[in-house]
Amino acid sequence: MKAIVLAAMLGLAAASALAVEPGERLADPALEARARALSAELRCLVCQNQSIDDSSADLAHDLRVLLRQRLTAGDTDAQVLQFMVRRYGDFILLKPPVQPDTYLLWFGPFAVLALGAAGAAIYLRRSRRGPDRAPAPLSAEERRKLDKLLAEDGA
């Protein structure tokens, strides 16, 4: 069992390592580590749910190369991220900042969940009026109208 788990973990690690091609890697191990850390924070604009580090899309390759060019030019990590955001918008960040234009992204799921919970609570509260609660008796006017309708139907 341990061998299967180990093989699965190695397979997953190898799959993500395959996205970064050998020609993209930097000679300086410290710079390459920074590049890998930064590329794990950036979204592949083609795949959208993968980082550029994990994606094998052509655009992800171009973004990885661009990121490494900026790092070798001497940019700090913050400068590289700012450059990418200026060029591609906040969408390129896998964790976009919390700001007014991303409130819906950050708080929308919680609002939908709260609305769903409120709707479920209202539904459950109304459905508790089951067989143990008898309906209110008919008024004299309602009883007269009902008798009239039944008499017309039976005639």
pLDDT in tens, 85-99: 999 888 888 888 888
pLDDT in tens, 8-34: 555 544 444 456 666 667 767 888 888
Give percent above pLDDT 90 in the chain: 25
Asked if residues 67 and 79 have their Cβ atoms less than 8 Å apart, the reply is no
Query: Whole-model pTM above 0.85?
Result: no
Tokens of 105: 């992204």
pLDDT for residue 100 is more than 70: yes
10 Å Cβ neighbour count for 79? Answer: 13
